[in-house]
Structures are given as structure tokens and as C-alpha cells.
Amino acid sequence: MLAKLKARLTLLIFDGSISRVGGNARSKVKAPQWDVGGGGIVRLIGATGLHRGLESDRLRHGLFTYYLLRGLRGEADANHDGEVTLGELTAFLGESVPAAARSDFSQEQRPLVFPPITPTSKLAGLILTKPMAGTR
């Protein structure tokens, strides 16, 4: 459905667990299809594979969402230029989420971005937010 949008770029952010990867013939509910094809869609998924997203009452969010919000508020601004780009956010999540999962939960959780965002890709420079001073 997202591929049918008439947008140049769609950023899909999904924080949840995928309980199954394929449906059976009798099931009316289809499993999500994480097609890695083009179509101007960037997918930012909270956990790779079939791992459950980690949650904590202390964080008041899932681990992925907690760090996503912190990153968008300015913590992901690696070059301190007052803007959080897609490249900065994906790098921040790629470091913060696995580290917190290991230290706080003694488990693994790795976000997935596809297509992959490299530091030199055009999408890496896409500005997502311009946090106001003092909101970190």
C-alpha cells in the first residue's frame, strides 16, 4: 500500500514484534511483507528477525521508540549543526538500541534499516528535525 502513495519518499517507522513471517492458506491475516525493493520507501524497523522489541515501564516506551524519540530531540545530532538527519538517526539507533538492550536487559535487539543508509548516500542527508536549543 505504501508503494501506491504519490510521495517521493516515505519513511516507515515500525516498532513492534513480528510474530510470524508467513501466513498459512487458511489464515485471513497476512504477515507483514518487508519488501526491500525500491518505490521510495525507507523502512526503519525496531528489531531484526523475529525478536520481540524490548519494553520497560521505566522507559514508558519500547526500547526502540525511546531511543528514536531521544534521537529526534537532538541526541542523534552527531555533527552538532542543529539538525538531525536520517543518516545521523539511523547511526544513533544502530549504536544506542543494541547497547541498551545488552546492558539493561541482557538481551539482543538490533534495529533494521532498508534500504541501508550509508554515510555517503543521498538519503543520509535528509533532515528529519531541527531540535530547538535546550530540548535535549
Q: Is residue 32 part of a domain?
A: no
Residue 24 lies in a domain: no
Answer yes or no: are the C-beta atoms of 45 and 76 closer than 8 Å: no
Would you say residue 9 has pLDDT above 60? yes
User: Looking at the domain assignment, is residue 28 inside a domain?
Assistant: no
Residue 22, pLDDT score: 46
The total number of structural domains in the chain stands at 1
Output the average pLDDT for the chain.
80
d(CA 66, CA 38): 28
pLDDT of 50 above 60: no
In which band, very low, low, confident or very high, does the pLDDT at 67 lie, cut at 50, 70 and 90? very high
Domain span at residue 96 reads 7-18+39-129
* pLDDT score at 114: 84
Rounded CA gap, 112 and 44, in Å? Answer: 6
Does the residue 27 lie in any domain?
Answer: no
Strand partners, 12: 43
Is residue 56 included in any domain, yes or no? yes
Q: b/e map of 14-26 (b: 16 or more CB within 10 Å)? A: ebeebeeeeeeee
pLDDT at 110 over 80: yes
Rounded Cα distance, 89 and 99, in Å: 15
Q: What is the pLDDT of residue 77?
A: 97
Is 46 within the bounds of a domain? yes
64: exposed, middle or buried (Cβ count in 10 Å: 0-12, 13-18, 19+): buried
The reported pLDDT for the residue numbered 135 is 53
Tell me whether residue 11 is in a domain. Answer: yes
Residue 134 lies in a domain: no
- Of 21-25, 35-39, 50-54, 79-83, highest mean pLDDT: 79-83
Instruction: Please give the residue that has the higher pLDDT: either 29 or 19.
Output: 29
Q: Output 31 or 60, whichever has higher pLDDT.
A: 60
